[in-house]
Structure 1
Amino acid sequence: MKEDEDREEERRKEKARLERTLLEEAQEVHKRKAEEDAHKSEGQKEAEADEEILKAISNKKKLFSDMELAQGIQYTDPLPTSWRPPRFIRERTEAQHSKLREKYHILVEGDDIPPPINSFTDMKIPSVMVKHLKSKGIVDPTPIQIQGIPTAFAGRDMIGIAFTGSGKTLAFCMPLIMFALEEETKLPFERGEGPVGIILCPSRELATQTYENMMAWTAALHEGGFPALNTLLCIGGISMAEQSHVFNKGLHVVVATPGRLMDLLEKKRFNLESCKYLCMDEADRMIDLGFEEDVRTIMSFFKHQRQTLLFSATMPRKIQDFAQQSLIKPILVNVGRAGAANLDVLQVVEYVKQEAKMVYLLECLQKTPPPVIVFSENKNEVDDIQEYLLLKGVEAVAIHGSKTQEERQYAIKSFKSGAKDVMVASGVASKGLDFNDIQHVIIFSMPKEIEDYVHQIGRTGRSGKTGIATTFVNMNTAEQTLLDLKYLLMEAGQKVPPFLQSIEDPRAVQGGSLKGCPVCGGLGHGISNCPKLEDNQRRTMASHRGQDTDGF
């Protein structure tokens, strides 16, 4: 009898449950969620919201060619190389390796990490190259080179993060030079063969600078008795006919911007059948909106597995995650926080009213002897500053995206040679360009994105030297940008002026965690109000509108 009553009770409950409407269930779900949310701190809620946005914008497509994606080809092991560290280094314990990394503040992540080596000779770099580097004042490897060069020599995919002026160019050029020498020595290249590797840069100026370094280093090796290596500069604005002599022989190295490289590959001027090495300098810019599809198109020309290296001073979490998915057992080599400012730069932030900027600029130019770089975010302002300085008798040149290639090359050449004392530049000159002995950088208008600020002040304080960066801010500077700047100064142990100290972080008031933005690396905001993300979305919408109106 009791069992029948229990069964009847169960049937009644089941019937009542089935009779409940979906609306009631939805109301209960919302009620439970509201109760859960009530127990969460504002910081937890913000962290969850940020994570949802990050998932939404994460690119699911990996950095593989269309053929590899279509055929489901997946590489599981890094490319083998003939290089091995000297025996005495191989016999060191992991504790000894860790101690050396700690000494140079090198952070590493990954499996089977090659050992750090703090001597060019012990890296097995030819003595003629070591001698040439010494003649240029490069005696010992920098931290990114200590871990980065052995990692690249070992054939490993790599994400290299180090502050501006830390020697990243040598860290990714030297392995490519050695691989190309090895291939040329085995069997000399003939017309139509090659390249062994490609170095991709986001701007013509950075590509030109990398090409000049590559030419100087390969020439030094050739003078020392090694085979000659042919390097092609592949950028817009220059005639490829001027470099036709390079195509008459085998091609070892290509230094390029994405657009011109795609053009030459599509025209079949050369192919990537034997290309085994791909490096992206300022990789976060390359993978970011605007270059990502170009890079993916370039990938479709690869026929085999390649070693991929991504280098930058600023590498936000979004880009790191994307790279981790795309590379093969990658090793992350990080010298300092990604996006942190160079500690060799004294950062001075001054409140200057908009109408007083020009006059105060002249005062600031008296702080140090030339050469000096002045940055502005506005092309028209760049021209105005140059004109004002010329009127005041200051030898100044200007460079921005609307200048012709000839004008840009003239400006860089005359500034580098010392013929001109001041270069006024838009952001185009901040990404990786290396000018000798810049003691002072003046940021006339603070960029919205803190990444750009890090790159701009990084034009000074390079290769272990110290420098000054003076930044003008005022009421026109967004409060969020000022907050990013405040945290960056605090992190670098720099003096924070009172007007920056007074800016409070709403997240700190709410008790949230101040992890920084995973998209741009700024410490003063979360992903929900990231200026870089807003700009990217605005550009995407603009490009869609452009496509929609193409048929009219």
Structure 2
Amino acid sequence: MESTKRRRIQRSPSPVYQLDNDDDSYQPYVSVTQRQQEKRAKLLSLGGTSSKAKKQEEAQENEDDQNEEDLRRERARKEKTLLVEAQEVHRKKAIEDAKKTVEEKAEEANAEILEAIRSRRKLASDLELAKGIQYTEPLKTSWRPPAYIRGRPEAENRLLREKYHILAEGDDIPPPIEHFSDMKIPDPILSHLKTNRIVTPTPIQLQGIPAAFAGRDLIGIAFTGSGKTLAFCLPLIMMALEEEMKLPFTRGEGPVGIILCPSRELANQTYENVLTWCSALAHDRKYPQLNTLLCIGGISMNEQSHVLNKGLHIVVATPGRLIDMLEKKRFTLNNCKYLCMDEADRMIDLGFEDDVRNIMSFFKRQRQTLLFSATMPRKIQDFAQESLIRPVLVNVGRAGAANLDVLQVVEYVKQEAKMVYLLECLQKTPPPVIIFSENKNEVDDIQEYLLLKGVEAVAIHGSKTQEERQYAIKSFKSGAKDVMVASGVASKGLDFNEIQHVIIFTMPKEIEDYVHQIGRTGRSGKTGIATTFVNMNTPEQTLLDLKYLLIEAGQKVPPFLASLDDPRAAQGGALHGCPVCGGLGHVISNCPKLNENHRRQMASHRGEDDKGGY
């Protein structure tokens, strides 16, 4: 206790502050300006200043002014928040936008979206992009057209293209050829084509086959059922035949070329066509047998081990299984020099673009690249032309236009009345008939309903096994089943004989899908009917696309479609199609395909984030 008291006594007293201190030692604050004035007055009082002192004074004054300006700016910057800055930017933009017309705003928005699309890397392997490898000349081939065709003036070639409504773009375009015999195709294949009533080439074959024979990169666009498969398979068969006859292939060698397809069904159909043409060629003892491999998911590759044990000439594949086989080194692309993509707009679009780049990274040499489709919007064309080597564009009709041999009937049917009305529509024509719906569950419901009504029907969609899908297609093609109910998986490129009627139960959002679906009929010069159900659930911009497609094809436009007003029409001027999907009823900013691609991207990013959360 005593020590505590001692410490308290010894503690120093607290300071006492005097607020009204009159001591002369107190120095009040003097501003910078006042100090400058006092300094200037002091120098003047000394009887003037020398030039050196004057310069020092001016320098000091400028420095002080700059310090004050910096302090002012710093103070203003702190007071001006990001929110205020953002408001000022929006205010300026609003003033600028007010001066622009609606059309100018739409054009600017479209230009921004297109610029974002163009920023994609060109279609090439990572190695080529990383090393900056660029090929400037197309592949050289030994094929030459007959002398009389080589000597034909360009004016005659132009007239011939106009006669068949062929639009060809590119440098040094090979001449069109009107007869298969002048293309120097082997006689066994010519005889096989004649037995199948294929006597003269279609417009896409007339110009596309000579361009492909000449080794040119090619973009081929033609309506559904126009013979595109022969146009890209025949050049590969001829290339493989030439390589085999020079030096026969042994085990582990090949392939010469690859045909990529977006769906298993389309790949299987293309494979069967290639097998048929190669078998026809091998019937003549002069020509060797060419080996073809089908490389798709859902089948065991061990069943085709007999092909892998020989030299491999041609591979028909879907991207996923092909990448798997290449990574396992079941075969290589070291000597592959031909790559064709069927339904190319789907192949190089969002879904398969990365897979295509991955496949290209396995190539070790320059390749000839061909892209074929019925619907190839301007965006895909521009992107492809940047990626190919001096490409030739062969376009028969407008890209994305409907087949003129199909009678399009559009009917307004309420959702609850669709099933009942479907039975009435089936009475329009004899079987076989295809019914399309975008919803897998709806596909199963339609098939079950038809079976209950005594209609022999099969169903195909992406959730069914490969065996179920193959059974459905085979039984439908053979005539064992009268009706096939399908999702979009059966709309791309599949060729069914004698289809007179296609019923679109649910109108797809993207007009491209509609064009492909109605294209299952009216093939190879035959006519067909396409009946489409629409109602209040169908988006208005899809109906506008449909309206303009009917007008373009010279079809009857029902009153409920004719009454639809296009907001762009009020602005005047020509209506241009969407460069992303080719639809005539909307601009790129309202494109359903672009919106769907963005949705898929966001979904994939969310999936990656979920995986990374572990």
Q: How much does 1:461 deviate?
A: 0.4
Q: How much does 1:521 deviate?
A: 0.6
Q: Look up the match of 2:69.
A: none
Q: How much does 1:250 deviate?
A: 0.4
Q: How does 1:89-238 map onto structure 2 within 5 Å?
A: 89-225=149-285, 226-238=287-299
Q: Look up the match of 1:61.
A: 121
After superposition, what is the alpha-carbon deviation per residue over 1:149-180, rounded to whole angstroms, capped at 9, x for unaligned?
00100000011000010000000000000000
After superposition, what is the alpha-carbon deviation per residue over 1:193-237, rounded to whole angstroms, capped at 9, x for unaligned?
000000000000000000000000000000023110000000000
Identify which range, 29-38 or 120-129, moves more after superposition: 29-38
Q: What amino acid is the match of 1:495?
A: K
Distance 1:96 1:29, change over 3 A: farther
- Tell me the distance in 2 between the aligned counterparts of 1:420 and 1:298: 38
- Tell me the distance in 2 between the aligned counterparts of 1:188 and 1:322: 38
Q: Look up the match of 2:475.
A: 414
Q: Look up the match of 2:364.
A: 303
- Tell me the distance in 2 between the aligned counterparts of 1:472 and 1:130: 43
- Tell me the distance in 1 between the aligned counterparts of 2:417 and 2:153: 60
Q: Look up the match of 1:327.
A: 388
Identify which range, 45-54 or 517-526, moves more after superposition: 45-54
- Tell me the distance in 1 between the aligned counterparts of 2:498 and 2:98: 57
Query: Aligned pair 1:247/2:308, yes or no?
Result: yes
Q: How many residues align?
A: 536
After superposition, what is the alpha-carbon deviation per residue over 1:286-335, rounded to whole angstroms, capped at 9, x for unaligned?
11112110110001000000000000001011111110110000111000
Q: Look up the match of 2:416.
A: 355
Q: What amino acid is the match of 1:174?
A: L
Q: How much does 1:29 deviate?
A: 10
Distance 1:270 1:37, change over 3 A: same
Q: 1:315 aligns with which of 348, 368, 376?
A: 376
Q: Look up the match of 1:8.
A: none
- Tell me the distance in 2 between the aligned counterparts of 1:224 and 1:497: 55
- Tell me the distance in 1 between the aligned counterparts of 2:154 and 2:100: 42
Contact between 1:259 and 1:294, CA under 8 Å: does it hold in 2?
A: yes
Contact between 1:203 and 1:257, CA under 8 Å: does it hold in 2?
A: yes
- Tell me the distance in 1 between the aligned counterparts of 2:150 and 2:118: 39
Q: Give identity over the alignment, percent.
A: 81
Contact between 1:43 and 1:512, CA under 8 Å: does it hold in 2?
A: no
Query: Aligned pair 1:520/2:569, yes or no?
Result: no
Q: Look up the match of 1:396.
A: 457
Q: Look up the match of 2:11.
A: none
Q: How much does 1:67 deviate?
A: 1.4
Q: Look up the match of 1:477.
A: 538
Query: Aligned pair 1:291/2:352, yes or no?
Result: yes
Contact between 1:316 and 1:520, CA under 8 Å: does it hold in 2?
A: yes
Q: What amino acid is the match of 2:355?
A: D
Query: Aligned pair 1:71/2:140, yes or no?
Result: no
Q: Look up the match of 2:509.
A: 448
Identify which range, 211-220 or 311-320, moves more after superposition: 311-320
Query: Aligned pair 1:385/2:417, yes or no?
Result: no
Distance 1:394 1:26, change over 3 A: closer
Q: How much does 1:85 deviate?
A: 0.7
- Tell me the distance in 2 between the aligned counterparts of 1:511 and 1:29: 32
Q: Look up the match of 2:554.
A: 493
Q: Look up the match of 2:26.
A: none
- Tell me the distance in 1 between the aligned counterparts of 2:446 and 2:415: 13
Indicate the SS of the match to 2:270.
helix
Query: Aligned pair 1:82/2:119, yes or no?
Result: no
Contact between 1:507 and 1:513, CA under 8 Å: does it hold in 2?
A: no
Contact between 1:43 and 1:513, CA under 8 Å: does it hold in 2?
A: no
Q: Which runs of 5+ in 2 are unaligned?
A: 1-71
Q: What amino acid is the match of 1:102?
A: E
Contact between 1:516 and 1:525, CA under 8 Å: does it hold in 2?
A: yes
Q: What amino acid is the match of 1:258?
A: P
After superposition, what is the alpha-carbon deviation per residue over 1:224-280, rounded to whole angstroms, capped at 9, x for unaligned?
231100000000000000000001110000000000000000000000011000000
- Tell me the distance in 1 between the aligned counterparts of 2:310 and 2:457: 41
Q: Look up the match of 2:595.
A: 534
- Tell me the distance in 2 between the aligned counterparts of 1:30 and 1:356: 50
Q: How much does 1:66 deviate?
A: 1.5
- Tell me the distance in 2 between the aligned counterparts of 1:471 and 1:91: 50
Highest RCO, 1 vs 2 (Cα 8 Å, sep ≥ 6): 1
Q: Which is higher, the Rg of structure 1 or of structure 2?
A: 2
- Tell me the distance in 1 between the aligned counterparts of 2:211 and 2:192: 23
Indicate the SS of the match to 2:459.
strand
Indicate the SS of the match to 1:472.
strand
Q: Which runs of 5+ in 1 are unaligned?
A: 1-18
Contact between 1:43 and 1:511, CA under 8 Å: does it hold in 2?
A: no
Runs of 4+ off more than 2 Å: 19-23, 25-45, 57-60, 510-513
Q: What amino acid is the match of 1:52?
A: E
Indicate the SS of the match to 2:232.
helix
Q: How much does 1:511 deviate?
A: 2.8
Identify which range, 82-91 or 509-518, moves more after superposition: 509-518
Indicate the SS of the match to 1:387.
helix
Q: How much does 1:137 deviate?
A: 1.3
Indicate the SS of the match to 1:428.
helix
Q: How much does 1:39 deviate?
A: 6.0
- Tell me the distance in 2 between the aligned counterparts of 1:57 and 1:176: 32
Query: Aligned pair 1:546/2:607, yes or no?
Result: yes
Q: How much does 1:442 deviate?
A: 0.2
Indicate the SS of the match to 1:268.
coil
After superposition, what is the alpha-carbon deviation per residue over 1:440-467, rounded to whole angstroms, capped at 9, x for unaligned?
0000000000000000000000011000
Identify which range, 189-198 or 503-512, moves more after superposition: 503-512
Q: What amino acid is the match of 1:163?
A: F
After superposition, what is the alpha-carbon deviation per residue over 1:410-433, rounded to whole angstroms, capped at 9, x for unaligned?
000000000000000000000000
Q: What amino acid is the match of 1:242?
A: E
- Tell me the distance in 2 between the aligned counterparts of 1:462 and 1:81: 32
